[in-house]
Amino acid sequence: MPTLLQKLFSKRAVGNDNGNARDCSTAAEQCWASSEFDLAQIRLIVCQECERRGRQVLFDSKAIHKLDASEPTADETKTPPNRSGACHIGSQASEKEKPPTYQYTRPASDVNMLGEMMFGSVSMSYKGSTLKIHHIRSPPQLMVSKVFSTRFGSSTSGSTNMLQDSFESSQTFPSHTSSIGVCRVPSAPLLCLARSASFFAAHSNPVDMPSRGHSEDGDSGIARSASLSSLLATPLPSPGSSFSSGCASSYQRRWLRSQATSLQHGPMPRWNTEEMFSLSDESCSSNPAMIRRKKIAISIIISLPEREEENHNFQEFFFSHFPLFESHMNKLKTAIERAMIVCRRIAESSQRVQVYLCRVMEALGEFRMTVWNLYMAPLISEPVWLSMISQSTERNLLCQRFLKEMSLLMDHGAKSQFLSALLTAVLTHHLAWVPTVMPSSLPPIKTACQKPASQTVDLLAKSHPYNPLWAQLGDLYGALGSPVRVCRTVVVGCRRELVQRVLYILSYFIRCSDLQEHVQPQGQMENPDNPTNPCSSQTTDPTPEKTFPPKPDPLKPTACVIEKALNPESVPGTSVEQNNDTLLTDTKSTNPSSSLESSTVRLECAEMGQECFGEDSDSVGGGLEHILANQSPLLHRVQFHIGSPRETENEGQAGDLSGAGCGRGLDRKLHQRLLTDIRRNESTDSALGDSDDEETSLQELYMATEQKEYELPLPSYHVESRASVNHFGRSLLGGYCPQYMPDFALHGISSDLRLKQCLMSDLEHTVLHPALDEPVAEALCIVADTDRLSVQVVTSQRRVCEGGRLGRDVMVSNLVHTLITSALQLYALNIASDFCVMHLEDRLQELYFKSRSLAEYLRGQTRVHVKELGLALGIESSDIPLLAAVASTHSPFVAQILL
Amino acid sequence: MNALVALCHFCELHGPRTLFCTEAVHPPSPSPPQPGSAIPGDRDREADREGEGLTMRANSSATQRADMCEGCRSLPASHPGFVSVDSETGIRYLSHQHPRQPQLFSVVRQACVRSLSCEVCPGREGPIFFGDEQHGFVFSHTFFIKDSLARGFQRWYSIVVVAMDRIYLINSWPFLLRHLRQTIQSLQDTALKVFDNEQCVCPQRAVRMNSAFSPAVFPHQRSGNAARSLTSLTQHSNLWASLHSSFSWLLKACGSRLTEKLLEGAPTEDTLVLIERQTEQEEEMSGWDCAEGGGSNPQPSQSESVQPKDFQFDDGRQEDLLGPKFKSLRHLRQVLGANDFRQLAWHVLMGNQVIWRGADPGLIQSAFNVLKALLPVGCVRAVSYSPHYEEAYRCNFLGLSPDVPIPAHVSSSEFSMLVDVLNVERGCVNPVSDDDILSLYQFNISSANTQPTDKGPTLLNKIEVALSNENLSVEVVSLCLLCLKEEWMNKVKVLFKFSKVDGRGKEDTQKVLACA
């Protein structure tokens, strides 16, 4: 880790030293990898498992060799791409030429073992897709597998030339959209709730979602679709009311996530649960009678770097970025499906194999390249927003640099309002800035960034854990609105420093939370008292049970928590008596053979118990009397603790001795209690004959259900907090990259050639298989061209664009324009740069307030009177898309009205 | 972490078994509870799964007992289990042999069976991740524990971490692997010591090699040996309590492994002022408490006691006062008429002292309450009803009883205005509706101000537009006012910074005003 850290922050250290504002745009950009990442490290295996024929390998990239006379070593995986150069895939480059020929040799020897791992030794009857990850120790490899059930159409053999056409047309709108839509099974309560929401009912057919060609509602730019988070009503009052924390919408998103992934609700299929592998294009008309039991597994095997540290780094990267890997695997799966369907139509067998191999190899090439790019692409070394959050000391310098770059860019594109247009688009779609300006209701803590950290979200994270990485990914893609839309921004231009300047500026507006990691320090791991080491007490206290005979203990009842919910109607009186009995015998019995040590320990414990709980803990009899005396229909809870968690937390301090002693005493008593329990259990077992068995089991049942658990202190643990390195805020803000990349929330490229090729299918793929693990209504991409000074927004909801253009031009929001102008003019007047940045934030906050007025205005309106808005609120028609998007983060109904 | 941890064992007699399970029970949700505890239709689903042969009903201890040996059991059936409570968050970590929550029972059972008899791990010991949306997702680590009496001298176990959040579970792979390895290592090391001891006492290999193999006796022998518990294999009597602590810790640590630093916007100026005043008030209160303890009897001056109450819109008190009231700025504007309202609002915005004099304190207070909305909270100093005149530095809103004289320096000042509320004498009329203020009162506005009030400021013009547009609801208007106020506060901040802090010339100030 140190080298990676050093790499990531080395530039900052330099900045610290000379102290002056350096030109950010020339700042070096770093990538993840500390060494080369070879494309051949990624292997693809496709296997099928059939009821009758067993397992077959359908593809193994290791067994495939490229036959090409011109390039003898032409297997593109063998030529590691130049680190600073693009990772071009051979088949891509020679696309116009004759496709390469492949030879399929015998699969590698490990394929049987791998097949076993992919499918498991016992086949599962589950019809949905299964995900598996294996770690292979030698050679070190990670294997990710997805196992699908297959689906056949009604006719698997009826192939005509017409099918080719149908394939072409279905590629623009992948056929399995519908199947996924139809297969959503809302069996979970959350989804049932969603169903009942009126919005969903109105548009209950997700197939209709991407309403192509309906340009009349194009202006709203809001998809008609339902998403889980947007539909689940609003469990919290909107900000501004009693729960007026600024982070209400972030809070809500996270809360919903914690609920949606909660184990307490049991398994809840959320969405795309029955994803299958299609062996026919007619996926919708599948005839159940035709379905045979067949499974197809797709596995990606990644060879891990030899060196321990690199291995570690790659694994950290892989596991933290898994959603992206998975999304690309889904893309690969779609391509393999297509390849199988297409090749089946080819009569001549050798050619069929060639087509199949070619297509799969091409898809694999793409997968490899994407992964390579993700891992190796240059990143913005100092994203402005994240740096401002994390580096409080350098704030002034950062502000200065940021404003300088922004004013340079403003001057550059002044005529075309390039910056205003770009920021209008970015603020409209990368919505994570909104919660960062929502006013907090809490007193400011003078942090250097002058903004309070959200305490409510912090508390939520502790009590209802969710995945902070997921939250961050959603932030970066701007998935905060309703319905959920995800957005990326690509800056195109041949002038490197100009593109980098734009990227740098945008890294202030494209925001996400910063992540901190809390881990045990290395030394702590080896500590025998480490809580993960269950046998530690054994080593410190080796022979407890043999030396001490089980002795009844006067304090024993306090060692456990008797948290008794007494309800006279449901609890039989006999059992209470019985319980009472055992407890009383416990207290009455004496301890004849206690050693000096154990008695002192016990004394300490007694004192602690009394300190903690005063009178209540002095006798259990009293406690029970209390319980019995107050028998009312209400629940009564009496708690006895010893060594409360707070007590144990103090262990490292001066009171160490008594705390530790008590802990050990407690430990000992507990195991004595355990022993007596076991003995009692054994004795009853042996004493009672078979005839009493039923009674005992009833009693056991009661004991198991009514008697509450022994309380043990939660082990305290010492953690080291450090800035997390493996998070999306660091990895998805790309620098000036050699090639277009589909994952990055922000990156720059020199040419839009490949962008034009891939963008539409990437956006469609994003809607079908969002890395966000949440249904997405629309995927967007902002394309800013610094050469032509144009800003366009491309959407997955394909609309007809004139003249072969990718998307639509962005209308400059007047509010955004004045906002930038104002901040930059203050900067030009030599006002302190941190004040200018604060002013910028104030103006962004004004946008938020305006969006609230707009939302409130829309609540009662059927038509928007733009003039009214302009006069009263200063909202012009050019501002409406922006403000509506902002409003949809706090008032989901806005999308509905604007449809 | 939203997960549970379970220790599973492949029993040579009974197959895969869940031995010990630690689950995290979260406190009730901070928002309306979701239907979670009892999902109707759960039974059906469970029944469906029974076909897979993986289901065992929870709490049916009678049936469990029948096909359980020591090796399949952790806590005796009578044992209540363990609990640890995280006092900070209220999360309870519960350990039992099987999960308490019935909906998790089959999930854990499934995870256990899959980890020990379906999924294949190279080398049989190591981590695997598997799962699907229906059965949950599982991180599993299989391992052997030495047992001198077992077949092959070892028994096979696994620790599974089950969660519904696939992504987080995968994200946590390195963390879970690191810590579970430690736990497993510790179990294995301890068991190895026991194994070595036992081998010293009675080398089983020799016993087995020397004893004649007899097919008739063999099954009997094995069933006798199959019953060793993990406690006996590790000679660790506290094993389950320790494992409970380990697993609870793991769940907590894994859940809080990553935290977000998420920023909120700066509080509005109004919030800041309110917070400041509240703190002051609290300090004052505690100060009084101390003083009273000391025996003195402090008498707060009237204005002081009025102020802190005043800024908190004391609706309750207002309700007590009968009679007509102003409900909103728009209402006030309707009653006064556009011209008078404009003049009044102008003075309010300019920071001049606005005096209302009349016999109805309720009406006057309601007027102040709606007028306050025009100003930042920090600029409001109201004395709602006083028997004598208060100076302008004390209050910018002043209510007076009808007979109180206005000092000459005030009535002649252009920085103050007076609204006289006069009763309309109509003899003894029937009680009129509260809405009809005009039928009861007449308002006379007077001021020494000579500046025109109909031109500016822009802020007032915008406010008037919003108020006069009946299409905008009261809520929209109040949000609109909030916007306008914030906008102007931001301008003020710039101006203040520029002129006061940095001390610039007039020309630059003009520029700043133009751009802010």
The answer to whether position B213 is within a domain reads yes
User: Considering chain A, what is the average pLDDT of its residues?
Assistant: 66
The residues near B185 (Cβ < 8 Å, ≥ 6 apart) are none
Confidence check on the interface: ipTM exceeds 0.85, yes or no: no
The answer to whether the CB atoms of B249 and A717 lie below 8 A apart is yes
Check whether residue B475 and residue B364 sit in a common domain.
Answer: no
What is the DSSP code (8-state) at residue A431?
A: T
Check whether residue B493 and residue B424 sit in a common domain.
Answer: no
Q: Does A773 touch chain B (CB under 8 A)?
A: yes
Q: How far is CA B223 from CA A683, B10, B11, B211, B378, in A?
A: 23, 14, 11, 17, 83
CA dihedral (B412, B417, B418, B419) in degrees, to 10, reads 150
Please give the Cα distance from A668 to A556 (Å, whole number).
10
Any idea which of A11-15, A391-395, A801-805 has the lowest mean pLDDT? A11-15
Choose among A881, A896, A893, A889: nearest CA to A239.
A889
Smallest Cβ–Cβ distance between B242 and the set A136, A263, A534 belongs to: A534
Q: B374 or A29: which carries more pLDDT confidence?
A: B374
Check whether residue B142 and residue B200 sit in a common domain.
Answer: yes
Write down the pLDDT at residue A802: 61
Q: How far is CA A243 from CA A239, A246, A427, in A?
A: 6, 9, 25
Confidence of residue B288 (pLDDT cuts 50, 70, 90): low
Check whether residue B212 and residue B118 sit in a common domain.
Answer: yes
- Strand, helix or coil for residue B43: helix
Check whether residue B103 and residue B242 sit in a common domain.
Answer: yes
B227-264 per-residue burial string, b: 16 or more CB within 10 A, e: under 16: bbbbbbbbbbbbbbbbbbbbbbbbbbbbbbbbbbbbbb
- For residue A146, the cross-strand partners are A131, A298
Helices (H) and strands (E) in chain B — how many of each? 20, 13
Pair B261, A514: CB distance under 8 Å: yes
Confidence of residue B295 (pLDDT cuts 50, 70, 90): very low
Please give the Cα distance from A85 to B131 (Å, whole number).
39
Q: Which residue does chain B place closest to A841, by CA atoms?
A: B265
Pick the most confident of A230-239, A443-452, A824-833. Answer: A824-833
Q: Does A889 touch chain B (CB under 8 A)?
A: no
- For residue A709, the cross-strand partners are none
Q: A272 or A742: which carries more pLDDT confidence?
A: A742
Q: What is the CATH number of the domain that holds B494?
A: 1.10.10.1730
Burial grade of A861 (CB within 10 A; 0-12, 13-18, 19 or more):
middle
- Domain boundary residue among B415, B433, B454? B454
The answer to whether position B118 is within a domain reads yes
The residues near A390 (Cβ < 8 Å, ≥ 6 apart) are A514, A723, B261
The answer to whether position B105 is within a domain reads yes
Half-sphere exposure of A548 (CA within 13 A, CB side): 27
- Strand, helix or coil for residue B322: coil
Report, in angstroms and rounded to the nearest whole number, the Rg of chain A calculated over CA atoms: 32
Please give the Cα distance from B332 to A345 (Å, whole number).
80
Whether A489 shows a pLDDT value over 90: the answer reads yes
Please give the Cα distance from A791 to A417 (Å, whole number).
10
Q: Does A251 touch chain B (CB under 8 A)?
A: no
pLDDT tens per residue across span B413-468: 778 888 888 777 655 555 555 557 667 777 888 777 777 777 778 788 888 888 88
Which A positions 843-862 lie with beta carbon below 8 A of chain B?
Answer: 843, 845-846, 848-850, 852-853, 856-857, 859-861
The answer to whether the CB atoms of A710 and B162 lie below 8 A apart is no
Residue A772: both structure tokens together: 């966000």
Check whether residue B208 and residue B78 sit in a common domain.
Answer: yes
pLDDT tens per residue across span A743-779: 999 999 998 888 988 899 999 999 988 888 888 999 9
How many separate domains does chain B show? 3
Q: Which residue does chain B place closest to A854, by CA atoms?
A: B476
- Domain boundary residue among B406, B434, B454? B454
Q: Does B513 touch chain A (CB under 8 A)?
A: no
The answer to whether position B244 is within a domain reads yes
The answer to whether position B299 is within a domain reads no
Please give the Cα distance from A472 to A456 (Å, whole number).
17
Choose among A260, A323, A314, A328: nearest CA to A472.
A323
Please give the Cα distance from A269 to A190 (Å, whole number).
10
Question: For chain A, what percent of residues have pLDDT higher than 90?
Answer: 24
Task: Collect all residues of chain B within an 8 Å Cβ-Cβ radius of residue A646.
Answer: 87
What is the DSSP code (8-state) at residue B315?
A: H
Q: Which of A538, A556, A675, A692 to probe by mutation at the B interface, max B CB count within 10 Å?
A: A538
Q: A516 or A187: which carries more pLDDT confidence?
A: A516
The answer to whether the CB atoms of B263 and A839 lie below 8 A apart is no
Check whether residue B380 and residue B478 sit in a common domain.
Answer: no
Whether B307 shows a pLDDT value over 70: the answer reads no
Check whether residue B441 and residue B396 sit in a common domain.
Answer: yes
Check whether residue B137 and residue B92 sit in a common domain.
Answer: yes
For residues A266-276, average pLDDT? 64
The pTM of this model reads 0.74
End-to-end CA gap in chain B: 48
Check whether residue B383 and residue B476 sit in a common domain.
Answer: no
Task: Collect all residues of chain A within an 8 Å Cβ-Cβ radius of residue B238.
Answer: 537-538, 544, 667, 670-671, 674
Write down the pLDDT at residue B129: 96
pLDDT tens per residue across span A832-879: 888 899 999 999 999 999 999 888 888 867 676 777 777 777 788 889
pLDDT tens per residue across span B339-364: 888 888 888 888 888 888 888 888 88
Give the β-pairing of A778-785 and A485-492: parallel
CB neighbourhood size of B185 (10 A):
14
Please give the Cα distance from A636 to A87 (Å, whole number).
68
Please give the Cα distance from A435 to A248 (Å, whole number).
8
Q: Which residue does chain B place closest to A249, by CA atoms?
A: B264
CA dihedral (B298, B302, B304, B307) in degrees, to 10, reads 140
Which residue bears the tokens 């109105």? Answer: A202
Q: What is the CATH number of the domain that holds B443?
A: 3.40.50.12430
How many Å lie between the alpha carbon of A847 and the closest alpha carbon of chain B?
Answer: 9
Pair A310, A2: CB distance under 8 Å: no
How many Å lie between the alpha carbon of B379 and the closest alpha carbon of chain A?
Answer: 19
Confidence of residue A135 (pLDDT cuts 50, 70, 90): very high
Pair A249, A435: CB distance under 8 Å: yes
Check whether residue B506 and residue B389 sit in a common domain.
Answer: no
Residue type, A592: P
Beta strands in A152-292 (DSSP E): 277-278
Pair B227, B16: CB distance under 8 Å: no
Pair A536, B186: CB distance under 8 Å: yes
The answer to whether position B159 is within a domain reads yes
The answer to whether position B301 is within a domain reads no
The answer to whether position B285 is within a domain reads no
Task: Collect all residues of chain A within an 8 Å Cβ-Cβ radius of residue B166.
Answer: 131, 773
Task: Collect all residues of chain B within an 8 Å Cβ-Cβ radius of residue A711.
Answer: 82-85
- For residue A581, the cross-strand partners are none
Q: A626 or B105: which carries more pLDDT confidence?
A: B105
Task: Collect all residues of chain B within an 8 Å Cβ-Cβ radius of residue A121.
Answer: 117-120
Pair A399, A382: CB distance under 8 Å: no
Range of the domain at B171: 3-28+46-257
Please give the Cα distance from A212 to A797 (Å, whole number).
6
Write down the pLDDT at residue A413: 78
Write down the pLDDT at residue A262: 80
- Domain boundary residue among B257, B273, B295? B257
The answer to whether the CB atoms of B164 and A513 lie below 8 A apart is no
- Strand, helix or coil for residue B447: strand
Confidence of residue B49 (pLDDT cuts 50, 70, 90): very low
Whether A638 shows a pLDDT value over 60: the answer reads no
Smallest Cβ–Cβ distance between A515 and the set B123, B258, B490 belongs to: B258
End-to-end CA gap in chain A: 50
Strand order in the sheet with A778-785: A733-737, A746-749, A485-492, A778-785, A790-795, A808-809
Positive or negative, the Cα torsion across B229, B233, B237, B239? negative
| Alpha helices (H) in B172-238, listed in sequence order | 173-201, 204-210, 218-225, 230-234
* Sequential DSSP letters for B350-376: HT-EEEEE-S-HHHHHHHHHHHHTTS-
A621-649 per-residue burial string, b: 16 or more CB within 10 A, e: under 16: eebbeebeeeeeeeeeebebbbbbbebbb
Smallest Cβ–Cβ distance between A535 and the set B186, B249, B462 belongs to: B186
Check whether residue B178 and residue B105 sit in a common domain.
Answer: yes
Residue B246: both structure tokens together: 């380990």
Pick the most confident of A419-433, A465-479, B333-347. Answer: A419-433
Q: Does A704 touch chain B (CB under 8 A)?
A: yes
Q: Which residue does chain B place closest to A436, by CA atoms?
A: B264
Please give the Cα distance from A277 to A720 (Å, whole number).
45
pLDDT tens per residue across span A350-368: 888 888 999 999 999 999 9
- The 3-state secondary structure of B224-273, one letter per residue: HHCCCCHHHHHCCCCHHHHHHHHHHHHHHHHHCCEEEECECECCCHHHHH
| Alpha helices (H) in B51-165, listed in sequence order | 61-66, 102-113
